[in-house]
Structure 1
Amino acid sequence: MSRPSFDPSTYAAQLEEKVTRLRELLAPFQPPAPEVFESPREHYRLRAEFRLWREGEERFYAMFAAGDKHTPILLEDFPVASQRINQLMPRLKAGWQASPALSFKLFQAEFLTTLAGDALVTLAYHRPLDADWQRAAEALAADLGVSLVGRARGQRIVIGRDYVEEALDVAGRTFRYRQPEGAFTQPNGEVNRKMLAWALDALGQRQDDLMELYCGNGNFTLPLATRVRRVLATEISKASVSAALANLADNGVDNVTLVRLSAEELTQALNEVRPFRRLAGIDLKGYAFGTLFVDPPRAGMDTDTCELARRFPRILYISCNPETLAANLAQLQDTHRVVRCALFDQFPYTHHMESGVLLERR
Structure 2
Amino acid sequence: MFELSPRVQELKDQLNAFMDEHIYPNEALFYEQVKLNKWGHPPILEELKKKARSQGLWNLFLPHSERGAGLNNEEYAHLCEIMGRVSFAGEVFNCSAPDTGNMETIERYGNEAQKEQWLKPLLAGEIRSCFSMTEPDVASSDATNIQCEIRREGDEYVINGTKWWSSGALNEHCKIAIVMGKTDPNAPKHLQQSMILVPLDSPGVTIVRDLHVFGYDHAPHGHAEIIYDNVRVPASNMLLGEGRGFEIAQGRLGPGRIHHCMRSIGIAERALEAMCRRAAERVAFGKPLYKHGSTAEAIAKSRCEIDQARLLTLHAARSMDLYGNKVARQQIAMIKAVAPTMACNVIDRAIQVHGAKGVCQDSFLASAYAKARTLRLADGPDEVHLGTIAKLEMGQYL
| TM-score clears 0.5 | no
Q: Which has the higher contact order (CA 8 A, sep 6+)?
A: 1
Which one has the bigger strand percentage? 1
TM-score normalised by the chain length of structure 2: 0.26
Which one has the bigger helix percentage? 2
